[in-house]
Structure 1
């Protein structure tokens, strides 16, 4: 039983992973890092898991890194801080590379590392009470470990502004930057958006979803040269001959639902 997270999977393979440190606004400490990493690793190996929904408990999605943990780090040596940072880096990479689709259900403000978690998810929707901030430089720090994911999501121009100014920004601004995809007007609409994405994802081929995620990572920021042409052709050849592609095409021609779709 975890003290920092709650993980539940439905009969249809929908995994809900909830941060449960509401007394500190779901701030992340070393225990949560370890439990999140282990849980995500287990999810990645579970063939029944189809989609992950990451959310928070209480008023905040995630208030970043726990201040007590940061204080302990400020009093420790470089080796200790390197190990701490590496554990966070492994957590973020595990979430970013999870083989199933991931949805960030942002139930409130996201600060610092909380924005890092969002940036590692495939889809993101936030409540109207949400706001965002990357305050590291105000504390004499830099967002080094989660920064690459935020820069990939928002772009370097936005990163220059928000890393350096540490100003808060709104759901509308976050959507304009590409950090989140939807910012509905009510919490009910937020929940419905999550449910809509889940319904859509469950109708798609699990193998193709994993292959699509790996494809995006592979081609991102690469030139469209001969090597990419060969790589994409190999991916197409492989996926066409996969049993799920054959089953999907057969179901389409018969105007039926494939086996992976909800009944």
Structure 2
């Protein structure tokens, strides 16, 4: 159902239901939420990599779960929606960078997972869709995470048409950062991970937190926040080590032996 394994400083999380194109149900949602909440407590963790087993990243909600949900009333539907929101938020709240590699199909709630990630690479032949309206529902929960990525203008098209689109379009609208041939997707993702691991562990955490804190603030509040953050981090042991390494033309203490 879900695989989670530490690989050095990274945690590799794999949606492992290839027989249903990694579609999720309430059990998968609970498992993903639990894994990411636990990951947030690992002080030595530096990155999370999310993949889908087999040919597809995530086809959205499991058809069998959807059939059961067809008979639910508003109270149960609200409960399920809150669980989906909690899963996406657990990914979004993770204090270290979350990277995703998208191959094959990625529909509906699967794009909620993608939108909650920090860095996304996709195979050039991947097929994506906010398909909910074709099913008589709507991408309501995932919109909390998708809208900050693609904005209302692009949502007006892709939410309302529920059309399929490719990796190039996903990159153009801001949902995906890198596109690669499918055979090169693993290498592309590992290259991005290597860049993350070259950064100071605390500096990277601070940078992710700062983006979230500073982005919604007006300029007069944003500047004091960013100045105070830089002053604190620059005078930290990690900040001092980074500067010393630069001046001495050597790798910083946290840089892996191999990197880009």
- Report the TM-score when normalising by structure 2: 0.94
* 1:209 Cα deviation after fit: 0.6
Q: Is 1:76 aligned with 2:67?
A: no
- Look up the match of 1:171: 167
* 1:204 Cα deviation after fit: 0.6
Q: Is 1:241 aligned with 2:238?
A: no
What does 1:160-239 align with in structure 2 at a 5 Å threshold?
160-184=156-180, 186-225=181-220, 227-239=221-233
- Look up the match of 2:5: 8
- Asked if the contact 1:107/1:126 (under 8 Å) is kept, the reply is yes
Gap runs ≥5 in structure 1 = none
Q: Is 1:21 aligned with 2:17?
A: yes
Q: Tell me which stretches of 4 or more aligned residues in structure 1 moved more than 6 Å.
A: none
Gap runs ≥5 in structure 2 = none
Q: CA RMSD in A?
A: 1.3
* 1:54 Cα deviation after fit: 0.5
- Look up the match of 1:96: 92
* 1:91 Cα deviation after fit: 1.0
What does 1:46-57 align with in structure 2 at a 5 Å threshold?
46-57=42-53
- SS state at 1:238 partner: helix
- Asked if the contact 1:125/1:194 (under 8 Å) is kept, the reply is yes
* 1:187 Cα deviation after fit: 2.4
Q: How many aligned positions are there?
A: 257
* 1:39 Cα deviation after fit: 0.7
- Look up the match of 1:155: 151
